[in-house]
């Protein structure tokens, strides 16, 4: 393998510069993006040069695959790349080979079948039940209609697992407030409707808002069926709903408050349901996921959970 940087020359270098020129002039990529493409592709060309390739037409699919392996392992005398950085490099390599075919330099796309490395699955960010309770309590602090609205909004999101866009789009007629079978009708991705039960705490908070706060907020607007309103009587925006959550998280003193988003409550909803014994397919329906595969990421467990279960279940653990 190479010992240090190899400076590509000849046909490969010319083809590389032609592609970078295309990205700059015709695609209008930023200087930073171009620099990243150049860095990845010069590493690729250096790797090809070591393999003895001097013309674009000599590059085979196996060469591209070997480059991917070398990037991940650092066997080309460069630093090993993470999966995300390697994925970025593969995008650059695939784009270059596609350009070579379209420009008539080669007749076959050597990278067409090569895919970026799979990204490692990460557990969705969720907060504990205790932190959710602190968050909800903090949202309702203060006097006037706004605290009642904020508490009701976050209670509904956590009780139903709604996306924030679904929550702010909720209409009054979408809420069934019948005790014992209260629910909300949510309009999800692809205009797919689903009906989700509404817990008693969320129903109580929503009732308080609808009776004692929404009429005051609606008085400043032109009339809208949307449940959650801003102080001008217009529908609450997603950005404003985000601000409601961020303010409550800071007020509650939650760790990592700056990283808590409306989606955090959705993740927490699913995680807490599964921890309580809910079937993953039921959670799939509640979340509105088209595939159970998307929901199954919530079934991944942390090392702490593994230790707790092991300690409780194994006869000789303690």
| DSSP letters for 255-306 | TTGGG--HHHHHHHHHHHHHHTT--HHHHHHHHT-SSHHHHGGGG---HHHH
Does 263 qualify as catalytic in the annotation? Answer: yes
Please give the model's pTM, rounded to 2 decimal places.
Answer: 0.60
The backbone torsions φ and ψ at residue 235, rounded to the nearest 5 degrees and listed phi first, read -55, 140
Which of the following is catalytic: 38, 177, 185, 263?
Answer: 263
Overall size of the chain counted in residues:
318
**Closest to 188 in 3D by CA, of 176, 174, 206:** 174
Which of the following is catalytic: 94, 97, 149, 163?
Answer: 163
pLDDT for 304 equals: 63
Dihedral sign, Cα of residue 44, residue 46, residue 52, residue 57: positive
Which CATH code is given to the segment(s) 10-102? 1.10.150.130
Does 163 qualify as catalytic in the annotation? Answer: yes
pLDDT for 300 equals: 65
Does 298 qualify as catalytic in the annotation? Answer: yes
DSSP letters for 213-245: THHHHHTTSS---BSSB-TTSSBPPHHHHHHHH
pLDDT for 7 equals: 43
**Residue ranges, CATH 1.10.443.10, the chain:** 129-309
Contact between residue 175 and residue 153 where contact means Cβ atoms under 8 Å apart: no
The backbone torsions φ and ψ at residue 226, rounded to the nearest 5 degrees and listed phi first, read -65, 140
The backbone torsions φ and ψ at residue 277, rounded to the nearest 5 degrees and listed phi first, read 105, 5
pLDDT for 173 equals: 95
Which of the following is catalytic: 27, 115, 189, 281?
Answer: 189
Does 307 qualify as catalytic in the annotation? Answer: no
pLDDT for 137 equals: 96
| Separation between Cα atoms, residue 114 and residue 93, nearest integer Å | 10
How would CATH label the architecture of 129-309?
Orthogonal Bundle (1.10)
Does 53 qualify as catalytic in the annotation? Answer: no
For the chain, residues with pLDDT lower than 50 are: 1-8
| Separation between Cα atoms, residue 127 and residue 177, nearest integer Å | 28
**Residue ranges, CATH 1.10.150.130, the chain:** 10-102
pLDDT for 303 equals: 59
């Amino acid at each position: 393998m190479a010992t240090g940087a190899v400076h590509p020359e000849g046909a490969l270098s010319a083809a590389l510069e032609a592609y970078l020129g295309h990205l700059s002039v015709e695609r209008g990529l930023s200087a930073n993006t171009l620099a990243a493409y150049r860095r990845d592709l010069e590493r690729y060309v250096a790797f090809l040069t070591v393999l003895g390739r001097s013309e674009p037409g000599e590059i085979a699919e196996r060469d591209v695959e070997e480059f991917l392996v070398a990037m991940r392992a650092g066997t080309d005398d460069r630093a090993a790349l993470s999966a995300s950085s390697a994925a970025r490099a593969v995008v650059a390599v695939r784009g270059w080979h596609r350009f070579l075919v379209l420009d008539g330099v080669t007749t076959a796309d050597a990278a067409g079948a090569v895919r970026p490395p799979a990204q490692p699955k990460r557990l969705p960010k969720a907060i504990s039940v205790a932190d959710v309770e602190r968050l909800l309590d903090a949202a309702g602090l203060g006097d006037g209609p706004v605290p009642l609205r904020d508490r009701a909004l976050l209670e509904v999101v956590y009780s139903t697992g709604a996306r924030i866009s679904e929550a702010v789009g909720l209409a009054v007629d979408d809420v069934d407030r019948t005790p014992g079978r209260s629910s909300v009708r949510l309009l999800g991705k692809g205009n797919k409707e689903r009906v989700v039960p509404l817990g008693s705490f969320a129903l109580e908070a929503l009732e308080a808002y609808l009776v004692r706060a929404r009429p005051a907020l609606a008085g400043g607007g032109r009339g809208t069926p949307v449940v959650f309103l801003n102080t001008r009587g217009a529908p609450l925006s997603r950005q404003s709903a985000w601000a409601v959550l961020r303010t409550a998280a800071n007020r509650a003193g939650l760790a990592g408050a700056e990283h808590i988003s409306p989606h955090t409550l959705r993740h927490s909803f699913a995680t807490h349901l599964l921890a309580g014994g809910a079937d993953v397919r039921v959670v799939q329906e509640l979340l509105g996921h088209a595939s159970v595969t998307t929901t199954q990421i919530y079934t991944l467990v942390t090392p702490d959970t593994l230790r707790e279960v092991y300690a409780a279940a194994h006869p000789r653990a303690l």
